[in-house]
Chain A
Amino acid sequence: MNKALAYCAFLREEGVSLPAAGVNAAPVEVMTAGALALLWSHVQWPFEPSAMQRHAVEFHEVISHVFRQRAVAPFRLLSVFDDRASLSSFVALHGADFAADLERLRAFVQMECVVYVARPEFVADTASGTRYLRHKAELLRRIEDYTAKIKAVLAETSAEIRVREVKQGVRIFALVKRGREQEFKSIAGDVPVSEGLARRLSGPWPAAEFLSAQVKSPNVAEAR
């Protein structure tokens, strides 16, 4: 069965180089609507589970190809449309929202800092319930401290910072002007991490966390 797999949307402008092939070597096609361009491919669906990892990298490469040049609004890998017509209807309905977000995020990239419990067994020490709870509370306090410090030191470098709790830690997203990525890494990297915690800095990524609700989950926003 063939489906239309959407990769990403970006503002339609001169001089953007496009990738030739996408997931499973499928030709990458461009759909345009007003100021918006959207990359997509016809793909054989469903994906073979054994090829999922390869397809994830191929999908990422298509998005990265454009993202290296411009701001993009990425779709999730598992979002597919029945055919070109249904994708076209989607773009006609939501294209203006996408274009507005891309204009707002035009100059920015997303940088990330994940802070997490380095040794889960430290938390899982169940020798006594009290000890376990104390350990856990202490780690949570250290994570909160770290988050507060990171937010403070990155206030000048970042247009916006969002924090999301994840399993065993937090994920801090910073909206940073393209070109200031190393500055982010240097500043965030200088904040010491407490014992028992680990940190991972990554980026630049497309500013997916900062897309508006109606772009991130168009159907959910419609239902509101």
Chain B
Amino acid sequence: MARGRPIHLSLMPTEFESVEIGGAPQEDVSILDILDHVLNAGVVVQGSLVISVAGVDLVYLGLNVVLTSVETALRSLNAEAKRAKQ
């Protein structure tokens, strides 16, 4: 089971890091928007979901656990990105 470090970050920050998506007409999409949508929106195939967070090996999780773990995954990724910038 993935255990995140206690990271105090909002999932809805007031500053968004923007990325430009190839070929798109100047879409301004933040990396958090992308992470949120690719992890948190769309078709969930129960039993085949896998989550890997902060170096913890893969764990197959039930649907409900995954849905709550996404927030942890986003926090970890956000924290890693901030650390990398420092």
Contact = CB atoms under 8 A, between A and B. Distances in A.
Given A49-B53, A53-B77, A57-B31, A80 B39 contact: no
Contact of B50 (A46, A56, A74): A46
Contacts of A155: none
Contacts of B26: none
A78 B42 contact: no
B71 to A, nearest CB: 8
B21 interface: yes
Interface string B74-86: 0001001100000
B48 A206 contact: no
Contacts, number: 128
A120 B49 contact: no
Contact of A217 (B22, B24, B44): B44
What's the interface size class on A, roughly?
Answer: 35 or more
A63 B23 CA distance: 13
Contacts of A11: none
Interface residues of B, number: 43
Interface of A: 6, 8-9, 45-47, 49-50, 52-53, 56-57, 59-61, 63-65, 68, 73-82, 90, 114, 116, 118, 120, 166-169, 198, 200, 202, 205-206, 208-209, 211, 215-220
A58 B13 CA distance: 23
Q: Which 10 A-B pairs have the closest CB atoms?
A: A219-B46, A74-B42, A208-B41, A77-B38, A79-B45, A75-B43, A208-B42, A46-B58, A116-B12, A60-B34
Nearest to B8: A120
Interface of B: 10-12, 14, 16, 19, 21-24, 29, 31, 33-35, 37-55, 57-58, 63, 66, 71, 73, 77, 80-81
A188 B11 CA distance: 22
24 contacts: A6-B43, A45-B50, A46-B57, A47-B52, A50-B80, A56-B38, A57-B21, A60-B21, A60-B37, A61-B21, A74-B41, A75-B42, A76-B49, A78-B49, A78-B50, A82-B48, A166-B11, A169-B12, A208-B43, A209-B41, A217-B46, A218-B43, A218-B45, A219-B45
Given A74-B41, A76-B43, A218-B43, A81 B31 contact: no
Nearest to A200: B12
A80 B50 contact: yes
B55 to A, nearest CB: 6
Nearest to B43: A75
Given A79-B49, A216-B44, A217-B44, A53 B35 contact: yes
